[in-house]
Structure 1
Amino acid sequence: MNTVYIFAILLVLGILFAFGVRRLRMVGISLLTVVALACAYVWLGHLHIP
């Protein structure tokens, strides 16, 4: 499975959890935070995705 698809799925799940389900809001916010940090590392060149 491609890494880009994994990031996309995490991003969609984070958005759905953050704005959809009240009980899972913290889970969604943490997912979005993890995705944002990973994207920042990729853009800065510290993490190279094949």
Structure 2
Amino acid sequence: IFSSTFAFIVHQANYETNIIALRNLDVVLLKITSVLSPTFDRISHRVSGRL
């Protein structure tokens, strides 16, 4: 019983850590996107202009 409880606690801790990591990743991706999107817009504008 003890080992399964311990495993559950570890699992919960990993789950919460993963959620925090995912949120941080989300923030980082948003920052990267906001920095890069003007560049992407210019590139796609040129490409669509050629097509």
**Aligning the two structures, in what range does the TM-score lie when normalised by the shorter sequence?**
0.3 to 0.5
Return the structure number with greater helix share: 2
TM superposition score normalised by structure 2: 0.44
TM superposition score normalised by structure 1: 0.44
The higher radius of gyration belongs to 2
